[in-house]
């Protein structure tokens, strides 16, 4: 049986898409009976297949001192250019030792510099582990070209790499997945009561890091204010759940001033309660203009929520018939797209049902895990006699 390691330097101390992906993948493989270990950068093991790999976490005193002490131009070249870079570098060093001791065949990560450092160790003959980078962090095409085994999370990303002239026969496109039994439609009345939101109100949910850049939470707040101005009698509430960023406090203050009692912020909301939070909502949205493949969107679709997203090819592909896409780069773009859903209960219900069906057909856990296991076989055998066709087929493992 193939010995698999899924790893994330942030798992155990950071709540983001990368960490959720690693945790979900590790547990899904274990549930399928695969020989897997799940490595995390902090916390404690919560099952017999979990391992804690010590590192200098991005917010640690050691990481901050190192970043401030080393000149920026030098730090980036040696893996100490930011807190996250320090975390990945120190994590990779200790992970290397574990991979040797555990005799791992395949390492699967989303931390880009962990992937590159472990790949280099394999190329130098220090370990036999082959490393797959699931590309979820918007690395440059030049960086991607260094990676032997690369999992793009959407066909569009793979085609973009091919169009740029950087595409290997060992690359593939396999999406993120979602547990459609855990994330499903249902009653979320208890959450509404907690948040003091009327049971008959229309609750719009955004789950993203609470920041301006990329996630554009401030844009959603402004658009919601515009919606309230246009439809002052509409019983609509905005709930934003996400992680802390340096600008979070300022965004919360601005939004509270603009929206008053119509907005709720759930900072660092417990991940185990997310299915309940989605069930409490009526509409889901993201303000970002580009995403690699956001797990939050899958969680919303699986929960039967109609989704309002920017008309980027990846998010349009993900949402399918369960989403309304529009140009969210423009003022008023979100309001125009969201209004039919916010004011039409039947439209919400119909769109949400279609989205749930689309998600089950394309992104359910078992369907995607089958594709991932097929890719592991390609990674392990592509350079052996008789397996050249399998390597060519790797790029066809898509939804």
Span 115-143, pLDDT tens digits: 999 999 999 999 999 999 999 998 999 99
Model pLDDT, residue 374? 96
Q: What is the pTM of this model?
A: 0.90
The CATH class of the 189-363 domain is: alpha beta
CATH H superfamily, domain 3-177+365-396: Glycogen Phosphorylase B; (3.40.50.2000)
Q: Supply angle C-alpha 222, 183, 52, rounded to 5.
A: 95
DSSP H stretches of helix in the chain: 17-31, 61-69, 72-75, 83-102, 112-123, 141-144, 155-163, 189-195, 217-230, 248-259, 274-280, 295-302, 313-319, 333-343, 345-363, 365-381, 388-393
CB atoms within 10 A of CB 13: 17
Residue-wise pLDDT for 73-92, tens only, equals 667 677 788 999 999 999 99
Residue-wise pLDDT for 245-263, tens only, equals 999 999 999 999 999 999 9
Model pLDDT, residue 398? 45
Which DSSP category does 261 fall into? Answer: G
Which residues have CB under 8 Å from 18's CB, separation 6+?
8, 10, 110, 111, 136, 137
Residue 39 to residue 32: CA distance in whole angstroms: 18
* Closest to 183 (Cα-Cα) out of 302, 304, 16, 296: 302
Tokens of 64: 């901050």
Model pLDDT, residue 212? 96
Could you tell me the sign of the dihedral formed by the alpha carbons of 151, 157, 392, 383, in that order? Answer: negative
Residues of the chain with CATH 3.40.50.2000: 3-177+365-396, 189-363
pLDDT at 385 over 80: no
Model pLDDT, residue 386? 60
Q: Name the residue with higher pLDDT: 243 or 314.
A: 314
Residue 136 to residue 24: CA distance in whole angstroms: 15
Which residues have CB under 8 Å from 152's CB, separation 6+?
135, 158, 161, 171, 172, 173, 174
Mean pLDDT of 361-381: 96
Model pLDDT, residue 16? 76
Tokens of 290: 């580009």
Residue-wise pLDDT for 339-366, tens only, equals 999 999 999 999 999 999 999 999 999 9
């Amino acid at each position: 049986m193939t010995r698999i390691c899924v790893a994330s330097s942030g798992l155990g101390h950071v709540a983001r898409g990368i960490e959720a992906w690693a945790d979900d993948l590790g547990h899904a493989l274990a549930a399928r009976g695969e020989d897997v270990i799940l490595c995390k950068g902090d916390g404690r093991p919560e099952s017999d297949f979990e391992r804690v790999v010590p590192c200098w976490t991005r917010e640690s005193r050691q990481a901050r001192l190192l970043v401030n002490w080393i000149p920026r131009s030098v730090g980036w070249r040696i893996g100490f250019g930011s807190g996250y870079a320090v975390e990945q570098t120190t994590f990779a060093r200790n992970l290397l030792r574990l991979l040797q001791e555990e005799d791992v065949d395949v390492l699967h990560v989303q931390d880009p510099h962990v992937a590159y450092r472990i790949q280099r160790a394999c190329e130098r003959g220090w370990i036999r582990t082959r490393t797959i980078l699931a590309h979820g962090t918007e690395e440059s095409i030049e960086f991607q070209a260094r990676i032997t085994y690369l999992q793009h999370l959407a066909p569009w990303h793979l085609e973009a790499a091919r169009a740029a002239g950087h595409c290997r026969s060992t690359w593939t496109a396999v999406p993120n997945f979602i547990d459609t039994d855990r994330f499903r439609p249902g009653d979320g009345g208890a959450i509404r009561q907690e948040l003091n939101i009327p049971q008959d109100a229309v609750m719009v949910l955004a789950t993203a890091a609470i920041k301006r850049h990329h996630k554009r939470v401030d844009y959603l707040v402004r658009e919601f204010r515009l919606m309230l101005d246009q439809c002052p009698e509409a019983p609509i509430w905005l709930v934003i759940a996400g992680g802390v960023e340096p600008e979070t406090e300022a965004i919360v203050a601005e939004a509270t001033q603009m929206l008053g009692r119509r907005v709720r912020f759930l900072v660092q909301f417990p991940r185990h309660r997310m299915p309940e939070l989605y069930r409490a909502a009526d509409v889901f949205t993201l303000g970002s203009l580009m995403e690699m493949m956001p797990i939050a969107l899958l969680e919303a679709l699986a929960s039967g929520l109609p989704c309002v997203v920017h008309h980027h090819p990846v998010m349009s592909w993900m949402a399918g018939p369960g989403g309304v896409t529009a140009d969210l780069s423009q003022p008023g773009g979100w309001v125009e797209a969201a209004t039919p859903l916010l004011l039409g209960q039947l439209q919400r219900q119909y769109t949400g049902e279609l989205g749930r069906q689309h998600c089950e057909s394309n992104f359910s856990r078992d369907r995607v895990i089958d594709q991932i296991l097929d890719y592991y076989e390609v990674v392990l055998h592509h350079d052996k006699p008789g397996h050249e066709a399998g390597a060519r087929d790797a790029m066809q493992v898509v939804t």
